[in-house]
Amino acid sequence: MSRLIVVTGASAGIGKATAKRFAENNDKMLLIARREERLTQAAEEIESSVPGADVEPLALDMSDAGSAELLRSHVGSIGLPVDGLLCCTGSLPPTDGEGLVSVLAEWQLAYQSNVLTAVIAVEGLLPLMADGGSIVLYSSIAAYRGSSSGTGGYGAAKSALHSYVHRLANRLGPRGISANAIAPGYIADTDLFGGGLSPTRETMLIRQTVLNRAGEPANVAELGFYLCSQHGGHVTSQIIQINGGSHHGT
Ligand SMILES: NC(=O)c1ccc[n+]([C@@H]2O[C@H](COP(=O)([O-])OP(=O)(O)OC[C@H]3O[C@@H](n4cnc5c(N)ncnc54)[C@H](OP(=O)(O)O)[C@@H]3O)[C@@H](O)[C@H]2O)c1
């Protein structure tokens, strides 16, 4: 029987690859992101590469509590419990300003985009989660190393998700629901870095891996898929790093 899987941040990068991976398993997919055109395009791409894929795009800004309410009522109208919720939303806050106002903006945006988008999606959908379902949040190697730009808001925000995952696992264990976070290192072919990384910075990130290569969105997608599978069901309250060994580095 096909499962209902909700992926936020599904119009690009890791989220789009994740949605495609579940679609290949004949799961029923609900895809969320802010920009409608790009989201619809992502859904169409998945439908054309996965024959028979059941993919619905729903444009919402997940940093807004009203959107979380809309998401909940939309999912309620589908009439199926949520088997998997993967919160791939996230972004790097601008760090090029000066003074305390820009420090505040960096930390507020980091928290809003990387923490609150996940928290309100999860809390909004919890009553509709299937017993035995799975929640996956997306942290970063920056939570371990500290962000390499600005005053560190991004890495600090990602580490807040670790604490939230442990709390969720504890709360939801009695319902058989797992909660984990995936912490990727550098993953190529995403929009996270806006206009892209400079060749020097990209080379540096790749050299920090022991495998001497960047990760691909599909690598991270496969891990999310596993965590939502029956085999992955005993994994909970974990932060799983996927970074080509670059946490320890060369
Ligand atoms: N790429 C990497 O190297 C890397 C490394 C470590 C961790 N990560 C983490 O992995 C996750 C996925 O990253 P990615 O590289 O795939 O990024 P991406 O390519 O930039 O995709 C981000 C997705 O999130 C959506 N989004 C952002 N803010 C949103 C909001 N408020 N409401 C709804 N949707 C929102 C974006 O679409 P819209 O802008 O249209 O909303 C897009 O679909 C993020 O949490 C990121 O921090 C990535």
- Give me the domain span that covers residue 27: 4-242
| Atom 34 (ligand 1) nearest CA | 33
Joined together, the tokens standing for residue 166 give 């442990």
CATH classification at residue 221: 3.40.50.720
The structure tokens 């029987």 sit at 1
Question: Is residue 154 within 6 Å of ligand 1 at its C-beta?
Answer: no
| 9, 14, 75, 80 from 139: Cα distances, Å | 13, 12, 25, 28
Question: Is residue 90 within 6 Å of ligand 1 at its C-beta?
Answer: yes
Question: Is residue 36 within 6 Å of ligand 1 at its C-beta?
Answer: no
* Residue 26 resides in a domain: yes
The pTM score is 0.98
Is residue 246's pLDDT more than 80? yes
Structurally, how many domains does the chain consist of? 1
* Residue 211 resides in a domain: yes
CA of 238 to the centre of ligand 1 (A): 21
CA of 174 to the centre of ligand 1 (A): 31
State how far the Cα of 230 lies from the Cα of 134, in Å rounded to an integer.
10
Question: Is residue 202 within 6 Å of ligand 1 at its C-beta?
Answer: no
Q: What is the helix, strand, coil percentage profile of the chain, to 5?
A: 50, 20, 35
* Residue 248 resides in a domain: no
| 86-101 tens-digit pLDDT | 999 999 999 988 899 9
Query: Do residues 82 and 75 lie in contact, with contact meaning Cβ atoms separated by under 8 Å?
Result: yes
| 152-174 tens-digit pLDDT | 999 999 999 999 999 999 999 99
| 185-212 tens-digit pLDDT | 999 999 999 878 999 999 999 999 999 9
* Residue 16 resides in a domain: yes
